Amino acid sequence: MHILLVEDDKDLGSAVRENTMADGHAVDWAKDLSEARGYASVVSYELVLLDIHLPDGNGIDYVREMRRRLESTPVIIVTARDQVSDRIKGLNAGAADYLVKPFDLGELSARIHAVARSHGQFPEPMYSVGTLSIHSAERRVVRDGQTVYLTAREWTVLNCLLCRPRTVVSKAKIEDVLFSLGSEIESNTVEVYVSRIRKKIGADRIATVRGFGYRFVVT
């Protein structure tokens, strides 16, 4: 998924961004609401991680602003405010979830996955096609009864396709995700990763749609 992180704390923001990217997501990090609005004006995000106390405003007001524009992007509020009244305000404003600092990064990953799944961003977390099983939540692939090991970048590419099975994912979209993780992008980078993945999970699992991109074949 492509996620917008809005957090002014440098250390926390860096940790959240690194952890979320390691889970295979693309992350843009805004340090305040003005920067968040700038990002959101040019990118359609699939989820927002939002702090409440920001240098130029209140995160809950930003959620209300999104909903007034009829934006349905799910929002997870991440804040140090743990009063029940604050949680109620956030959820009533339109947030999908509310996580109180300090929190475990593993829990954040699980909540991102749960919220995304409930909003239709993720399909079923496990695919079983013939002798191939892919367990998305565990980042585990089994083929012919044997565990298949993918590199972090290979899993990132596969995850891009798994998030939208049967749907064509453009080469540019995959390049954007890889670039956000710090990968150097050459003209054939995506082709190289797709070729490697095909060798590991089966060439017939990833179809090339010439001129458009790739799609994961589930039947």
Distance CA 185, CA 100 (A): 37
Report the sign of the C-alpha dihedral through residues 101, 103, 107, 108, in that order: positive
**Residue type for position 27:** V
Nearest to 86 by CA among 60, 120, 48: 60
pLDDT tens profile 115-173: 887 876 554 446 777 788 887 666 778 898 888 988 888 988 888 888 776 788 899 88
CATH architecture of the domain 2-118 equals 3-Layer(aba) Sandwich (3.40)
Asked if the bond preceding 55 is cis, omega within 30° of 0, the reply is no
The CATH 1.10.10.10 portion of the chain extends over 126-216
Q: How high is the pLDDT of residue 79?
A: 84
Average the pLDDT over 93-114 and give the result. 88
The CATH 3.40.50.2300 portion of the chain extends over 2-118
CATH code 3.40.1440.60 for 126-216: no
- What SS3 state is found at 215? strand
Q: How high is the pLDDT of residue 137?
A: 62
